[in-house]
Structure formats: C-alpha cells, structure tokens
Amino acid sequence: MRNRVNQVYEKYWNYTAAFTDFDGNLFRQVVRTIRDFVGEHEGEAYTPDKYRLAQQALQSAVPVIDMASQRKRINQLVKLGFIRPFLSGYAPETDEFLAAATSRRRKSVVSKIVYKYANLLNSVTNDIRTRQLAFLIKSLEELGCISERDLATLMTIDIESFGREFATREDIDRQYCDMDIDGFYERKYNQVDHLRNLLGKLDDLTVHDGCVYFKTDADRLFPDVTQRRAVRDPYLQRVYKSELEDEVCVHYGSETPRCMLDSLAHPVLIASHIKPYSHCAPDSEEQFDLNNGLLLNKSFDSLFDLGYMTFSDDGRIVPSATLDESLRAYLSGFALHAGFLNDRRLAYMAYHRANVFDKRYQPAARRQEIQT
C-alpha cells in the first residue's frame, strides 16, 4: 500500500488569476500597456531592470497600491500566452484582441491565444514549452466531462514526460490512486477554481455543476426547457414529428411508428434533425422540412445529434473512430432503407458529415474521405 501521508506535489499547473473578466476595459488596458512596452523594447536582452521598467509602465497606466499586483498581472499575461516569457515578444493574435470591436470577437481571440500558447508553468522568468490548456481540451474531447476531481488530477500531470497529447479516464484514475488528490484539492482549491473559471470563459466550453463540458454537449445533456420552447415552435415541432411518423408507417406498412434504423416500435422515438435546428436560418423551410429529419430511437438520436455517427450516401451508418470498437462494429450493421433516401435528404446528410460529424475529433483528411 502506498504511503501518501507526506506527499505534497508542488509541481503542478500553477494558475492564480489577477483577472477573470477578459472583456473588461481594465484587462484590455493592461494587455495594451505591456504589448506596447514589449514592442518598444523588442530585441533587448532580458534583465531584472527590464522587468522593473515593465511594472513601472503598467503602474503609470493602471495604478495599484502594491507592485506585487502588477507582477501578478504581467505573469498572468505570460501564462495565458499573450506575452512571451522574458518579455521577449507577444502573440501575434494580441493585436487582434486589442482591435476586436465586439465582446464575441474578443472571446474568440482569447480562446485562440490560450489554446495555442498558454502555459501555466510559465512566468516572466520561466519558459517551459508545454501547452497545458491544449492538453486539457484534448483530454475533454476524450472524456466528455471534467469534474472537479478530474481537473485537480490533471493539474498534477507532468505533460513533458506523459508521452501523449491527452489523458484518458484510465490515466486520470491511475493518477488519482497514486496521489493524494483530495489533499491537493483542499490545499489548492483556489487555483483549481481559477482554472475552471478560465475554461468557462473559452469558446464552446461551459461549466455545469462544477464540471467542464463542451457547450454543445452541455446543451444536449442539460437543456433549458424554457429557452428551447422560446426558440423552437412546439406546435410545428409536433407536426414535424407527426409527418416523420406518417412516413415510416407508410414505409413499413405499420400503424405504429418505428425507428428508421432498427425498424422497431420503441415507446419513445425522436424527430432528429439532420442539419441541426440551431444551424438552420430563422423561419426558414429547412427548420421543419420533413427531409431534414429522421425518426430514431433515443440511442441513435443521441449519437447522431452529438456527431458520434453519420450516414454515407447509400444510407450506411458511419461511426466515429472515437467510439469503442465493439460499438462501431454494432453501428456499422445498420443502414437507412433506400426508400428513406432522396436528393433533399442526402443534401442534408452531406451537411451533417461536413459540419457535425466528428467535428472536434476527426482529422480533416478523414472527414474529406468520408464525404467522397
């Protein structure tokens, strides 16, 4: 049995935020001031005086009571990837961020900077070439959800010696068993919380009940019923489903609606949009176009809606390579009957393959191969 009583684990992803609002005027002023300072001193060797002058420049532009706060601000810019260690330069996207005219645009640029350059082990005087945030987001693609315990565990992983670009559930469970993560979490609760808050500020990520999800997955798992009713006309949705039920009843010669894939009369069948409703132009025909729908059981609907499977032009299921091999083999045995395929439905299928299927997981070359 492992002795964990005196384990401390101080080598971790160290992130304490001076700023949590990346859209605010104060943060933008700090970014602009340090960007300008770095530009003015481009090519100069790093010295403690250079760091001191940067703090003084920031103090003149955005005063605080103590200079330690200015150091914390500058170090956060380095950790996030806006500014390079040793004040040697700045991310080219920093200018994009400062020029952004809208909050939406600023959020997108921050997400890009953090994903490409962030290193939570870096500081003004420390340059380590690893990318924890990219590792974490790729791990989320693998895991689907990152809990508080998962996040604390990930923060203790040494990426440089890890040997892979993401962590699996087995990796996290093994790390958790090898370490006193609960003790680490108790001591570093604020830093775990700061990192979770940062993730919630990025594009397509959200925090629900303390867990991090891709927003598209969270919307699916935790739908806001009031919002959904406001966006999607409930009566037209019922008519849409009724039309799909009529189509399958005629096709199967049955009085009871059946799943288009397994031909079974499930107690619950879903009118599943091929081109997602949220992708359709407002008040357009395609929102409730019969050909933009499939009647599926809940399992098929979930996999299709989340992009874990799609269809080829001959109706065969194309499963995601990220799924378990046994599930891929099972799904590959199903296909839509030719009677459900027509030119309009196939056009929607092509959209699903290009814009929904495996969008986060699959290499572009593989998506092109499937489409052709």
**Weakest mean pLDDT among 15-29, 96-110, 142-156, 184-198:** 184-198
Looking at residue 18, the DSSP 8-state letter turns out to be S
Q: So what's the pLDDT on residue 351?
A: 94
Within a domain: 314:
yes
Tell me how long the chain is.
Answer: 372
- Which residue's entry shows tokens 């995601």? 320
Q: What is the pLDDT of residue 10?
A: 53
- Residue 261 and residue 230 share a domain: yes
Task: Please identify, among 204, 220, 236, the residue that sits at the C-terminal boundary of a domain.
Answer: 220
Is the model's pLDDT at 148 over the cut of 80? yes
Query: Is the predicted pLDDT of residue 5 greater than 90, yes or no?
Result: no
Q: How many domains does the chain have?
A: 3
Q: Are residues 213 and 341 in the same domain?
A: no
Question: What's the mean per-residue pLDDT of the chain?
Answer: 87
Residue ending a domain, among 155, 185, 220, is 220
| Judgement on whether residues 229 and 332 belong to the same structural domain of the protein | yes
Instruction: Please name the residues in contact with 59: beta carbons below 8 A apart, sequence gap of 6 or more.
Output: 67, 70
CA angle, 255 then 258 then 259, to 5°: 165
> Does 153 share its domain with 88?
no
Q: Is residue 121 one of the residues assigned to a domain?
A: no
Could you tell me if 249 and 138 lie in one domain? no
Shared-domain flag, residues 88 and 165: no
Q: Is residue 122 part of a domain?
A: no
Kindly state whether residue 38 falls inside one of the protein's structural domains.
yes
pLDDT of 154 = 92
> Per the domain annotation, does 124 fall within a domain?
no
Last residue of a domain, one of 94, 116, 138: 116
Say which DSSP state 275 is in: S
What pLDDT digit, counting tens, does each position of 50-93 carry?
A: 999 999 999 999 998 888 999 999 999 999 999 999 999 999 99
**What is the mean pLDDT of the segment spanning 93-99?**
96
In angstroms, the Cα distances linking 52 to 57, 58, 183, 330 are 9, 10, 37, 63
DSSP at 359: T
Question: Quick one: CA dihedral 201, 16, 192, 112, positive or negative?
Answer: positive
Question: Are 326 and 360 contained in the same domain?
Answer: yes
Q: Answer whether residue 250 shows pLDDT above 50.
A: yes
Determine the average pLDDT of the residues in 25-35: 96
Residue 306: give the domain boundaries.
Answer: 225-371
Q: Are residues 230 and 327 in the same domain?
A: yes
Is the confidence at residue 30, as pLDDT, over 60?
A: yes
243 lies in some domain: yes
Percent of the chain predicted with pLDDT > 70: 91
Cα 263 to Cα 179, 294, 300: the distances in Å are 50, 12, 12
Does 134 lie in the same domain as 102?
no
Q: How far apart are CA 61 and CA 24, in angstroms?
A: 15
Same domain, 250 and 355: yes
Angstrom distance (rounded) from CA 306 to CA 328: 15
- Residue 123 covered by a domain: no
Does residue 20 belong to any structural domain of this protein?
Answer: yes
What pLDDT, in 10s, does the model give residues 207-236? 888 899 998 888 777 765 334 433 677 888
DSSP annotation string for 295-355: EEEHHHHHHHHTTSEEE-TTSBEEE-TTS-HHHHHHHTT-B--GGG--HHHHHHHHHHHHH
Alpha-helical (H) ranges within the chain are 25-40, 48-61, 67-80, 93-99, 103-117, 132-143, 148-154, 169-178, 181-187, 189-200, 215-221, 225-231, 234-252, 298-305, 325-331, 343-355, 364-371
What does the block give as tokens for 96? Answer: 């994009």
* Whole-number pLDDT of residue 13: 87
Please check whether residues 196 and 235 belong to one and the same domain: no
pTM above 0.95, yes or no: no
What element of type H or E holds 224? none
Q: Are residues 66 and 110 in the same domain?
A: yes
